[in-house]
Every structure is written in structure tokens, then in C-alpha cells.
Amino acid sequence: MSSVNEKKVAALEAVKYIKSGMTIGLGTGSTVFFLIEAIGKMVLKGLKIKTVATSVETEKLAKSLGITVITLAEAKRLNITIDGADEVDDHFQLIKGGGGALLREKIVAHNTDFNIIIADSSKRVSQLGQFKLPLETIPFATQLILKELQEMGFRPVQRKKGNDDYKTDEKNDIIDVDIWGVDIKLTELEHMLKNIPGIVETGLFLTSTDLVIIGKGEQAITEKKI
């Protein structure tokens, strides 16, 4: 089964956690696309929910399907958030940000009671780092951060969109860093990176996830945090 179908399988399993009256965080990406599509159908059938979007793309899609989108400030706290991931390891640690929405995604996850990750089976790994770690950086500092990361022994690459620098919804830059085989604990790596002024956020989501739903073939495999 293709990864596209596995994404859909995972998304359709995740909507079972949605109940009327909830405020729900909507992630970003091609897996979440299927989620939003399914929620749109549920709303048409009478589901009453409010949502907070983690990107402009998600907000546009949700609104186009008749889903109510409010600001995080209005929501204050979210019951559940459902989001995708670029990698998920055995300890529910994630690399996110392939779609460039890591900053809002991390803020929304932090303000949520129960975080659900949906993904196709290719995302489930035993060790994080085959996927390059995205860092969101302030444009004023990006070139110096690239140099500093190089001096630290990393191989950072600024993300591009065509010939231009890729820009996030927050008008920041993204630097993708190869962390494969880096001999340092992920918590220390996160701390070290966040200590560099101008790195606003990293794509390491180490503690926020409560439940992972993986689409594998026709099946949805649910893993709960113990």
C-alpha cells in the first residue's frame, strides 16, 4: 500500500478521538490534509468543534471546508491536537518541520492536553536523524548561525524555494541540519541549539506526544505512551 493511503488510514483512525464540544489543534502537511478533509465531512453532519490551525495552509483548507478556526489566544487551551511528523522513534520523540510549520506546531502542542501524531509507516524509525532536523531562524541571524553550526561540526543547509530563501508563516528562515550519528543526547542537542540566539525553534519534539497512530498497509497501529 502506498504511503499516501497509509496517511489516510492513520488520519481516519485519529478522527475517532474527536468529540463535539472540543477545541482541536490542526497540524500541517499531507497526512493532516486527510484529517481535515474527514473533519470537514463530520462538521457537515453536525459535529460542533473549534479548531486552531498551525499554518496558513491548514487554516485556509479548514475554513474552505466549513470548519471553525479560532486563534490560540481565543482557545486558551486545546483538548487535543492531531499533527503529522517526519520521524517518530520508539520513545515518541519526533522530528517535525518538513513542511516548515514547526514553530506554530510546537506552540500548539505545548498548549494542548493530549497530542496525537499520525503518520505513514515510513516515518516510524528506531533512531531519529535520517531526516534532516529543521531549525527556524531569524533572518537577521541566519548566515551567522549557518557558520556557527559548521564550526560545531554540523552540515547545515539553508532551505530554498526555487532560487529564493524558504520563508515560514512567521517570515523566518529554515536551516536543515544533518544530525545523523551525532554523539550527543537529543535533550542536550535541543538545549545546545536553542542556546544559539536567533534559533527560534527546532524540529525536535521530545516530550509532547501522547499517542501515535501509524498507517501500515490497510491497518492503523495505535501506540500509547506508557
Residue 201 in contact with residue 106, Cβ under 8 Å?
yes
- The pairing of strands 133-137 and 156-158 is unpaired
CB 169 within 8 A of CB 101: yes
Out of 87, 105, 190, 201, pick the active-site residue. Answer: 105
H or E segment to which residue 3 belongs: helix 3-14
Given a contact cutoff of 8 angstroms between Cβ atoms, the answer to whether 28 and 54 are in contact is yes
The HSE-up count of residue 77 (CA atoms within 13 Å, CB side) is 3
- Closer residue to ligand 5RP, CB minimum distance, 84 or 129: 84
CA distance 94 to 212: 10
User: Which lies closer to ligand 5RP via its Cβ, residue 23 or residue 86?
Assistant: 86
- Determine whether 170 is an active site residue: no
Closest by Cα among 68, 98, 70, 100 to 85: 98
Rounded Cα gap, residues 107 and 102, in angstroms: 9
Task: List residues near ligand 5RP by CB under 6 A.
Answer: 27-31, 83-86, 96-102, 105
CB of 154 to ligand 5RP, least distance (A): 20
Is the Cβ of residue 55 or residue 79 nearer to ligand 5RP in the bound state?
Answer: 55
Closer residue to ligand 5RP (CB): 14 or 101: 101
Closest CA to 6 of 221, 224, 223, 218: 218
Q: Please list the active-site residues.
A: 105
